[in-house]
Amino acid sequence: MQPRFNYAKLSPGAYQAMLAIEKYLSQSTLEKGLLHLVKLRVSQINGCAFCLDMHWKDLRAMGEDEQRLYSLNAWRECPYFTDRERSALAWAEALTLITQGHASDEAYAETTAHLNEREISDLTFAVIAINAWNRVSISSRKHPGTYQPAETHAAVSA
């Protein structure tokens, strides 16, 4: 597939606004590994090849265990995830699949058992952001495979 358009060049203001959300999230109290795990799971649901490549590489660069990454699609059935991670993944799935339940009270209650209100709010913005990144990457046909973790982390930190 050929790329369709370069959103970063064509819509620089929107791109910078998205990067500002990422910068905010990188400074939140949510663990970086948890954020990337959620982003990877949402990208699996949405089928975004570029974001799958990116967050898999980010997690591996952080030392994440491959067994957990291979099992992420089946996180509910695997013993490899903490209760905190499970609650974040459940909330991420509920928000990503919003038309299938409108972020149910059960999903929210599960999340409040392991995250405080600020963390839930920040997690919600992380899920919103990765859903947006997925959609722009899929629609523009951004090619996977070229992402290098250090490049993007430097851009977000600047």
Chain-centre distance of CA 157, in angstroms? 17
Tokens coding 157: 């930190």
- Long-range (24+ apart) CB contacts under 8 A made by 105-113 are 110/86, 111/87, 113/83, 113/87
Q: Over 80: is that where the pLDDT of 37 sits?
A: yes
Chain-centre distance of CA 120, in angstroms? 14
Show me where the domains of the chain are located.
18-23+30-157
Superfamily holding 18-23+30-157: AhpD-like (1.20.1290.10)
Share of the chain above pLDDT 70, in %: 95
Mean pLDDT computed over 28-56: 97
Q: 156 and 39 in contact (C-beta within 8 Å)?
A: no
Whether this model's pTM surpasses 0.85: yes
What would the pLDDT profile of 70-116 be if each residue is shown by its tens digit?
Answer: 999 999 999 999 999 999 999 999 999 999 989 999 999 999 999 99
CA dist 127 to 88, 92, 120, 133, 158, Å? 10, 6, 10, 10, 22
